[in-house]
């Protein structure tokens, strides 16, 4: 029995190296089967839509900015489980505080 415990401990350590518990991959893997289907469908729609544009020229982003397309939205109940909340910026924050909030958001710090 001790051998199995050691093997399981080593497997968990390797999994943490390969897919850290706070990584997007780990969060997606932890979704329920139903939420995973919602996520996979959203991802498929995003890929399908973006494939119609030239990635080199930034056409997808340009079309979005110009209001020519709407990017598929992941339902909030799934989005909140896998993505960090957007930073809350207020009028009374200094530019450096806003920068720090955005930096943390971009680094994925929960």
Q: Which residues have a Cβ under 8 Å from the Cβ of 13 and sit 6 or more positions away?
A: none
% pLDDT > 70, the chain: 95
Q: What is the pLDDT of residues 60-71, one digit of tens each?
A: 888 888 999 999
Domain ranges for the chain:
1-30, 31-74, 83-110
What local confidence, expressed as pLDDT, does residue 30 receive?
Answer: 92
pTM attached to this predicted model:
0.66
Mean pLDDT of the chain: 87
Q: What is the DSSP string of 78-105?
A: HHHHHSPPPP---TTS-HHHHHHHHHHH
- How far is residue 38's CA from residue 31's CA, in Å, rounded to a whole number? 10
Q: Read off the pLDDT band of 1 (50, 70, 90).
A: low
| pLDDT computed for residue 42 by the predictor | 97
Q: What whole-number distance in Å separates Cα of residue 50 and Cα of residue 78?
A: 21
What does the chain come to in residues?
Answer: 110
pLDDT one-digit tens code per residue, 13-50: 887 787 777 788 889 999 999 999 999 999 999 999 99
């Amino acid at each position: 029995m001790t051998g199995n415990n050691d093997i399981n401990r080593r497997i968990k350590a390797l999994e943490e190296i390969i897919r850290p518990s706070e990584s997007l991959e780990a969060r997606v893997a932890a979704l329920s089967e139903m939420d995973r289907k919602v996520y996979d469908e959203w991802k498929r729609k995003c890929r399908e839509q973006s494939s119609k544009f030239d990635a080199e020229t930034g056409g997808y982003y340009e079309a979005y900015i110009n209001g020519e397309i709407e990017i598929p939205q992941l339902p909030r109940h799934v989005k909140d489980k896998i993505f960090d909340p957007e930073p809350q910026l207020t009028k009374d924050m200094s530019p450096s505080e806003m920068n720090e909030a955005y930096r943390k958001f971009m680094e994925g710090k929960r």
